[in-house]
Amino acid sequence: MADVQSYDDRDGWIWFDGKLVPWREANVHVLTHALHYASSVFEGQRAYGGEIFALTQHSERLVKSANILGMDIPYSVSEIDEACREVLRANNLQDAYLRPLAWRGSEQMGVSAQNVKIHVAISAWYWGAYFGEEAIRKGLNLAISKWRRPAPYTAPVESKASGLYMICTMARHEVQARGFDDALMFDWRGQVAEATGANAFFIKDGKLYTPTPDCFLNGITRQTVIGLAKKRGIEVIEKAIWPEELESFEQFFLTGSAAEVTPVRAAGPWNFEVGDLTMQLRQDYIDLVNRRISNA
């Protein structure tokens, strides 16, 4: 996952407020509201073979996320879709990760910022396996984070808001310093929630279990994998999952646009098999995004 090249010093093009600009010139002022008050939302999506998977779903979610924060993006979903395709073409990319971002500008400073411009930028770059190829073979080793997902009455949990990822960064930094790959986070009640940037799935007796997404995002990859599992006739159970239940699960994997489908071999004191069903669902997902199968 490490990248030796700085993200601000690259060749290429970024779509910025309606036009392509050279990568190094896609800058904002230090007094941008989003930098001080986290008034920004984003998406993460992947292109495979020149086609962006679930593009419109991601663009719709970007607009929804912004609306939850009281921001009106000045572009339609179809315009955002086309801008993403334009960025992919301009950078001559086939397999890529894309990052659309919307944020409040620098016209007003203070907690209240009713009269600022809403900016949008879209960038794209090649990004291989999020956790590395070895993680796909061996499975991730997770620690349990001390940080918890917030209650829905304390934060805009249905928005992919940048501010909500502060605790994710803190959680992952802390566990990586101890040699772990990522952190498994519980929610404010103590129930199993998700990893720092990916949804969680568990397997027991041929059934798929996943926490109810009532305080974290119901990920697009999560929804896709549920569809793939049901297509195979696998029963999918969405429920509250308590930590003491983890001992009973046989397999565990994460899903996300960046993570795709990545197996987990351990989470805290609990160990899991990198099993056939996990790897089958991973292959189904890879086949789907590369248009080798249909999810209809």
Q: Which amino acid is at 1?
A: M
Decide if 160 is catalytic. yes
- How many Cβ atoms sit within 10 Å of the Cβ of residue 178? 7
| Helix residue ranges, H only, 51-141 | 55-68, 77-90, 133-138
- How many Cβ atoms sit within 10 Å of the Cβ of residue 126? 12
> CA angle at residue 241 from 237 to 243, to 5 degrees?
145
Q: Which of 19, 64, 160, 204 is catalytic?
A: 160
Q: Which residues contact 276 (CB under 8 A, 6 or more apart)?
A: none
Q: Which amino acid is at 109?
A: M
Query: What are the Cα distances from residue 289, in Å, to 44, 49, 56, 221?
Result: 15, 9, 14, 10
Tell me the backbone φ, ψ of residue 108, rounded to 5 degrees: -145, 140
Joined tokens for residue 285: 């997902």
> Which residues form the catalytic set?
160
